[in-house]
Structure 1
């Protein structure tokens, strides 16, 4: 049996791929004393990935190409940079790394692109530096970086509680087909939560406690039936995202108008995920949304998808 970790490290480069996500359900509670909102969410990873290639360097360096690359910082504020620095500190590593990030997940789109970068960077640096941390240990470090980072490591489907970082794997059968309506300009997550706080319905008396994901959601996932799943999609932040970006409401309405079973804002937006009954229908819905010109870009993806993983080097035939 081959040893992919050793081969990649010996070759001087490690290539890791991590998925973006959508929130099938996102319930939000009133802001706590620590400044955070309690959440109850269902994450599902989708087939839209961030690629991170780690190579040896004297210091931690970041370069970015791909979708909306110009909007991504390459300094210490980059979440992948922070991930590498955190791993180095935790393991006593004094070496550097160059992280080449190729973006496919939209920036500030509510799909966890930066979190996927961080998860990929954690795994890539762990393999490159041969620190040998278990996935559980990487998960603990991931939680220090942000609520969505642990899920980008695990992928598939999971319930998220607390700040979204307390994960419980969830069973989902079958494959779901989505049409993503993307916006070139992202939304600030803190601004969306602040807008939600200001909504009349966002008061503590209007939010049930504790927040829970309903059994109907879990049954829909287990059934693998997109029609059942369509009936439980919800995002409490949708109204706030639409208030800040009215085009979000247009994308939601247009998606259903052209045949989607349902449409939901992912995370804090502005990305809209429209659920299709099958792949053929997804292609038709995508074409109709492009014709309406309600989004800057329209993509077709599937879910669930695996979490951060090593991409094997191409082997030359002998």
Structure 2
């Protein structure tokens, strides 16, 4: 069991179904900030209505993990709390590009645009309405979609009774419950559940659980590695690679991400690339490790798509 930054405890493992805590990439170096720690700082600051501090910590997260939509969403919310609507818009625009189907991100962008009196806010409101109509009154997300749509509409047409977003941000539907209220315990539970679901090959459910863990902890290399592993098992190699690369950008010595990225390269027929990952593993595991041996078997087999 590996204890992670921020107080979370995660299971560690290697080839064939687990994650450990190290890995490597040639052109990437360790970030100045630990994004999981900074993410937790930002959440705590938002809970305390200290939005400038929250924005500062969230900016550190985006610096360390620039391709993580949760990081940009968090920054957008912190900027909104500080009434920095231009900064909020910019952050949410980044987040939408990375996660174009996330309703909370679209709502956050709509809220920022509405407060800037930008007519593009209507497009975001219409997008949310279409999602709500497609969802229907009985779907699990119906209440959330209504709340998000109402929030954007209220910002577009404010009244004297409409509270300022900064005054209600800590209970805003823009946040997933696990982001503000779940804490480390809920994040750990979601992560452990995801591991179990992966072992049962219930990959869509596993991804949902990993998303909850990511909402609680932000861009953590163990979570990112498992997200990559799960997408790889679903056959989406491009998406899997993006998660492996994010994990390695945060922690260039992450063993699990290095092994799995090597397996992905072998499955794609890039044996030379897989050997580079193996060479890094051999350096990380000075006395040998199961992760390196597993990747070595993949290379010796020339890549086995049946074990992707």
TM-score over 0.5 for the alignment?
A: no
**Bigger relative contact order, structure 1 or 2, given CA contacts below 8 A and separation 6+?**
1
User: Going by fraction, where is helix more abundant, 1 or 2?
Assistant: 2
User: Going by fraction, where is strand more abundant, 1 or 2?
Assistant: 1
Instruction: With the length of structure 2 as denominator, give the TM-score of the two structures.
Output: 0.24
Instruction: With the length of structure 1 as denominator, give the TM-score of the two structures.
Output: 0.24
Bigger radius of gyration among the two: 2
